[in-house]
Chains A and B, each alone.
Chain A
Amino acid sequence: MDEDGTTGNSPAAETFDPDLIHAIFKLVWRRRVGKGGGGNEDIDVEPAPETSRRNRSTTANANALKVSCELLRIFVTEAIQRSAFIAEAEDGSVFEPTHLERVLPQLLLDF
């Protein structure tokens, strides 16, 4: 494995932290368990999947998280690139909200 001794080893692209994405996912799944079960006064919404009573909160594969990070990164990148397309047509150098507004419908349909 080659390790660049120089400090010029810049990453190709910035991306999300898989742990952050994982935390967000867990939050969504935990929330779902609470709502889907209805009354759960006695049953605690535990993070650790132990009981087999009900569908315990979902877990995620490590690779699945990486692919999710990639998808979300593409979302942000697409938003920026499409807005840049419009902004350049108007000879702008700063992104304005109006640029984003115009790409929004197609962006949301695509994702």
Chain B
Amino acid sequence: MAMDPDPDLDLDMDMDMETLADAALAGDSGGEAERYEAAEAEADILRDRFRLAVISIATAEGSKAGMTVADPVVACIADLAFKSAEQLAKDAELFAQHAGRKSVRMDDVILTAHRNEHLMGLSRTFSQELKGKEPASERKRKKSSKKYERVIEV
């Protein structure tokens, strides 16, 4: 199986994605089957784009170690990472719903890594950095907004 990342493929995919997305979202008089197929095609496009991203990350990482990564290996990693991403989505959604929320937050994502303490620590540090970079107004809204506002007013 030749897994050559074709640069031209990317352009085609962008166009196709829009067409298929339109077909999937806009009126479809057909049944669920059509929609399912359209969704599957969309998934394939996403999978390919995802694979390209994995290739670039893996190649960069491999060259750091002074090694080249064979195509089949990268394809495997890409597929596994994609499945991980899907699993992450499902788990994060479950956690958010469990907390009675509709939107997934950072904490939900961090929880999905609960099986690996080290990983959870890493993502927590990362999330704290993100929070730290947020402008003061954002933080005001999230944490004890009332207290903060009172301080300013008085």
Q: Do most interface residues of chain B lie in helix, strand or loop, or is the interface mixed?
A: helix
Contact between chains at B35 and A71 (CB < 8 Å): no
Interface residues on A, range: 35 or more
Task: From the candidates A27, A74, A110, name the one contacting B39 in the complex (CB within 8 A).
Answer: A27
Task: From the candidates B58, B89, B106, name the one contacting A29 in the complex (CB within 8 A).
Answer: B89
B90 interface contact, C-beta 8 A: yes
Contact between chains at A68 and B84 (CB < 8 Å): no
B137 interface contact, C-beta 8 A: no
Residues of B within 8 A of A15 (CB): 57
Residues of B within 8 A of A14 (CB): 53, 56-57, 60
Using a CB–CB distance below 8 Å, which chain A residues touch chain B?
Answer: 13-17, 20-21, 23-25, 27-32, 34, 40-41, 45-47, 49, 55-56, 58-61, 63-64, 66-68, 70-77, 79-81, 83-84, 87-88, 92-97, 99-100, 107-111
Cα(A68)–Cα(B84), bound, Å: 10
